[in-house]
Amino acid sequence: MFLKSLEKALKGIIFSPQTLIPLLVVVLVSFVSVQLTSWVLERPLTDIFLYYETMGQNNLLYLFLTQYPFEIATMIITGIIILFVTVVALMSLAHFASGKKFIKAVNDAVMEWKKSLALTIVAIIIGFLLLVAFFVINFIFDLLYSLGIEALNSFLALILMPLIIVIIGIILTIKFAFVLPAMIKEKPKKALQKSWDFTNNKFWLSFVFVLVLGIIVFLLWSVIPYIGFLLGIDIIFDLIGEILAVTFFGLAISYYYIDN
């Protein structure tokens, strides 16, 4: 039962608080990266503020790609670095969940950086393909909207399109949620296949597990920062909530896969 995985993840954080260190490193790297690259947004944000009406009449995607290539490239590189560090951190949690001591788990995750880099690239490719798919779906719906049938447009906009996006998101989330723990013993390509195959016979159980886990992560990510807001120390509690939420997610996903 997946409740055992959630229990083990909770105990892992309580009795082995050092498991929070990898995500603490991710948060620090993210904070430093954002601070170092925040200046690249000054020019585009200033232009948007000053020339909003003029820019709104143009294709914004084309405009940003042609007018701010350096800024976009900088933000993309920063995002890739943060994503890579996050993957390494989650890999260390997966190794820890497999029964290794914390230091060895972190060391193994660092030594397997090529796996993490490969998975980072795969994640970027999947993200890009999803973006393309979204534009294709949006284009198809725009054609249907052009028919001008009010009842049809309402159905498409309020029901069908959101439903398609949610279904695609759920399926991909369930199918690829267990890639990280699968990569402990497999190469990235094989781990993707293992994660996909893992849910073939237990899709709905995995769905319920990920749903419950998602609710818990959401609560950690929202309630703890709210407590910080009430106490007037937002930033610290924001970081605590983020670290706890992602660490719990990484451990729970790993335990669920390894125990089954």
**pLDDT tens by residue, 119-177:** 899 888 888 888 888 888 777 777 777 776 666 666 666 777 778 888 888 888 888 88
Q: By mean pLDDT, which of 90-94, 166-170, 251-255 is the weakest?
A: 166-170
DSSP 64-120: HHHH-HHHHHHHHHHHHHHHHHHHHHHHHHHHHHTT--HHHHHHHHHHTHHHHHHHH
> Taking 80 as the threshold, does the pLDDT of residue 69 lie above it?
no
* Residue whose entry in the numeric block shows the structure tokens 């407590």: 227
Q: Measuring CA to CA, which residue among 245, 256, 251, 175 is closest to residue 214?
A: 245
pLDDT of residue 9: 93
- Residue 255 lies in domain: 2-259
Number of domains making up the chain: 1
Tell me which of 34 and 91 has the higher pLDDT. 91
Angle CA(53)–CA(59)–CA(63) in degrees, nearest 5? 90
pLDDT of residue 148: 65
The amino acid that residue 58 corresponds to is N
pLDDT of residue 176: 86
Tell me which of 19 and 60 has the higher pLDDT. 19
Token pair belonging to 128: 């890009």
* Residue whose entry in the numeric block shows the structure tokens 């290794």: 100
Q: Residues 35-55: pLDDT tens digits?
A: 777 777 776 666 666 665 555
Query: Is 170 in contact with 243 (CB distance < 8 Å)?
Result: no
What phi, psi does 205 have (nearest 5°)? -65, -40
Query: How far apart (Å, rounded) are the C-alpha atoms in residues 74 and 45?
Result: 15
CB-based contacts of 156, cutoff 8 Å, min separation 6: 141, 144, 145
- Residue 107: which pLDDT band, with cuts at 50, 70 and 90? very high
> Taking 80 as the threshold, does the pLDDT of residue 58 lie above it?
no
Query: How far apart (Å, rounded) are the C-alpha atoms in residues 114 and 218?
Result: 31
> Taking 90 as the threshold, does the pLDDT of residue 106 lie above it?
yes
Query: How far apart (Å, rounded) are the C-alpha atoms in residues 130 and 179?
Result: 18
Instruction: Tell me the average pLDDT across 179-207.
Output: 87
Instruction: Tell me the average pLDDT across 247-254.
Output: 94
Length of the chain, in residues: 260
What is the chain's Cα-based Rg? 21
| Whole-prediction pTM | 0.83
Alpha-carbon torsion, ordered 2, 245, 257, 119, to 10 deg: 160
> Taking 90 as the threshold, does the pLDDT of residue 89 lie above it?
yes
CB-based contacts of 153, cutoff 8 Å, min separation 6: 144, 145, 147
pLDDT of residue 127: 84
Query: Is 5 in contact with 216 (CB distance < 8 Å)?
Result: no
